Structure 1
Amino acid sequence: MPKYTKRSVALITAGVVAVSGGAAWAAWTILGDGSATATAGTAAELDITGTSITALVPGGTSDVTLTVSNPNTFPVKVTSLEFVSITTTKSGCDAAANVEFASEALPTSPATALDVPAKTGTTNGSKEITVAGALRMVSDADDDCQGASFTIVTEVDGLSNAA
């Protein structure tokens, strides 16, 4: 039987520790790099429908409520509005001579009054915006304008309003 001395036990122990420690240092450091691409989407135009809240009468005004429909997957803030033209199909009624655009002032309160939500699933986001006193019928309006329906071409501008 071999005879172990303190010195040989110390050497065997040191050898076991060295082998164990060597295994711990066997992990490798690995680095990598690469690239990815992204494509920006395109914005779709807003859709606008609207109605006059009250019937126009000579010398009177009417608010106009517009519904802005947003087909984009991001929210939009309406920044400006313009009534471009007004027409009617009623014979004898000259819309442009009998109805004026009295106001294009957008509401400022509440702070979210002009925020149109994003499209969710297949449903467009929508927001009703009321322009107070938007239309005015002239005080000497033609009799032929009684009962006329008017079509107003409206344009809005907006900006993406993502957080």
Structure 2
Amino acid sequence: MSTPEYEQWQALTVRRPDDVPTPTPLAWHVEKFTVHNDRLMNNALPADFKYDVQRGEAGDALAALALRESIHRQVERERGSRVREAIELGATWNEVAAALDVDPQEARAVLREWVEGQHRLYRGCVERGERPFGFDDDQYAALLALTELADDENVRRG
């Protein structure tokens, strides 16, 4: 079943990463990227290809570039939260570091930077009198404590 949001997304012309609304699901990004990318790949087919295919145009190339950048940005924004989930679900810093292809200290820095950003977000909301979003002082401290786990230690086994 199609939703109005999905239909709007399908009709949206993307030429810049900022054309993509922030809450757009990653799967929708990839689906739209694939449509444009497939048309571009069809350009490599012979002119007398026996099936009727849509060929890519400049708009497809621009959309593919913008969507690729938007996907990259979304994945990067979610990086810290995924590190948090991995650690809270029982992964060790060595395992997280391997998944990120970095050393454990760099993996900890990813979490630390994200947690600090979420804490700044929370404090900014409070200062402006807005409904708080992000991590309060207790959540901030609890999440930073995760960075103190030893490389092979996890929250479930100690």
Give the TM bin, normalised by the shorter chain.
under 0.3
Greater relative contact order (Cα < 8 A, sep 6+): 1
Q: State which structure, 1 or 2, has the greater radius of gyration over its C-alpha atoms.
A: 1
Using the size of structure 1 for normalisation, the TM-score is: 0.21
The structure with more helix, counted as a fraction of residues? 2
The structure with more strand, counted as a fraction of residues? 1
Using the size of structure 2 for normalisation, the TM-score is: 0.21
